[in-house]
Amino acid sequence: AQTVTQSQPEMSVQEAETVTLSCTYDTSESDYYLFWYKQPPSRQMILVIRQEAYKQQNATENRFSVNFQKAAKSFSLKISDSQLGDAAMYFCAYRIGGGADGLTFGKGTHLIIQP
Amino acid sequence: EPEVTQTPSHQVTQMGQEVILRCVPISNHLYFYWYRQILGQKVEFLVSFYNNEISEKSEIFDDQFSVERPDGSNFTLKIRSTKLEDSAMYFCASSFLRATDTQYFGPGTRLTVL
């Protein structure tokens, strides 16, 4: 079974600084997708960024970027120029390509932004 | 921007009662999902649905759960006889494609079983 591990229950960063959230996963598949979702206090899950395993280039969405290390099965999220609105729970998620439907989530990292 | 909606936002019920949670997926999406998140725990996949039938389900999705698309817009999750441990946040999600597409989540329904 696939597992997703987020080893940092909580992270804190000063506003305008950069923070990196860690995620590792375990799979024997070669075709899969990785996601970071944000869950603010409103509890809605919002997609931050996605990465296809077959792509070597790291995904980037404005201030959010990932460091995808396929061999190490690592998928970290970097948030640059942190803003107060970035405060939330961040979940790393995995999905097999071409078959199974359900996302497998990590336990989440609570990100605190210090003003 | 199109979004997934869910009603109600909060449902309180007595143990043993039936509840129906409702979702309106994004209109051109073809795949629908339910997840749950017990307070303080990770989000867990329950079931996926396509072409009016279950595509995949987890071991959590036992006989007390059922899903239905009663019309062209709604997607429902029914819990037949609620238990205390069913108290959780339930998220609906939808995607246009299956294996390659991103799932977009609704705001969730908080279910409290007393």
Q: What is the pLDDT of residues A19-65, one digit of tens each?
A: 999 999 999 988 899 999 999 987 788 999 999 999 989 999 999 99
> Is the pLDDT assigned to residue B81 strictly greater than 80?
yes
pLDDT band per the 50, 70, 90 thresholds, residue B100: low
Chain A CA closest to residue B40: A107
Residue B23: its pLDDT value, please? 97
Contact call for residues A58 and A66 (beta carbons, < 8 A): yes
- In this predicted structure, what is the pLDDT of residue A100? 61
Beta bridge partners of A10: A110
Contact list, A100 vs chain B (CB under 8 Å): 56
Characterize the bridge pairing of strands B104-105 and B53-57: unpaired
Q: How far apart are CA A47 and CA A33, in angstroms?
A: 13
Question: Min CA distance, B111 vs chain A (Å)?
Answer: 13
Contact A101 B98 (CB under 8 A): yes
Using alpha carbons only, what angle is made at residue A91 by residues A27 and A28, rounded to the nearest 5 degrees?
Answer: 5
Q: How far apart, in Å, do the first and last CA atoms of chain A sit?
A: 41
